[in-house]
Amino acid sequence: MSFENLQKAARMDELPLIVDFWASWCGPCRMMAPEFSKAAGLLKGQARCAKLDTQAYPQAGQVHGIRGIPLLIAFQGGREIQRQAGAMSARDIEAWVRRVAAA
């Protein structure tokens, strides 16, 4: 996902948008990548999941105040509603998204 697409999707999506901010040089990010993909499958129809490479789009780090990765940020209605730092399993990501969406 590009930074421009992220900004548009965060404003326009009706479902919660869950973005995994990552970089290819980040070991924990690479470890979490397949877990995030599994979680996206588990959440299909309930949340939109996307990945954004912070190395390719450094402005994302500046705009969203990203201090460390991997970082999940949930957006809804054009605004950030919650964030979660650190690598997580698919089930933990799914549970976090369900809590965020219910709040």
CB atoms closer than 10 angstroms to residue 7: 15
Does pLDDT of 2 surpass 80?
no
Which is the catalytic residue, given 18, 19, 29, 74? Answer: 29
Does pLDDT of 15 surpass 90?
no
Domain residue spans in the chain?
3-102
Which is the catalytic residue, given 10, 26, 69, 97? Answer: 26
| Angle (nearest 5°) at CA 35 between 67 and 64 | 25
pLDDT tens, residue by residue, 35-93: 999 999 999 999 999 999 999 999 888 888 999 999 999 998 888 999 999 999 999 99
Does pLDDT of 11 surpass 70?
no
Burial class (CB in 10 A: 0-12, 13-18, 19+), 74: buried
9 contacts: CB under 8 Å, gap ≥ 6: 1, 17, 48, 50, 75
Helix (H) or strand (E) holding 85: strand 79-85
Would residue 26 show up in a list of annotated catalytic residues for this protein? yes
DSSP state of 14: S
| 3-state DSSP of 36-71 | HHHHHHHCCCCCEEEEEECCCCHHHHHHCCCCCCCE
- pTM metric for this prediction: 0.88
Q: For domain 3-102, give the CATH number.
A: 3.40.30.10
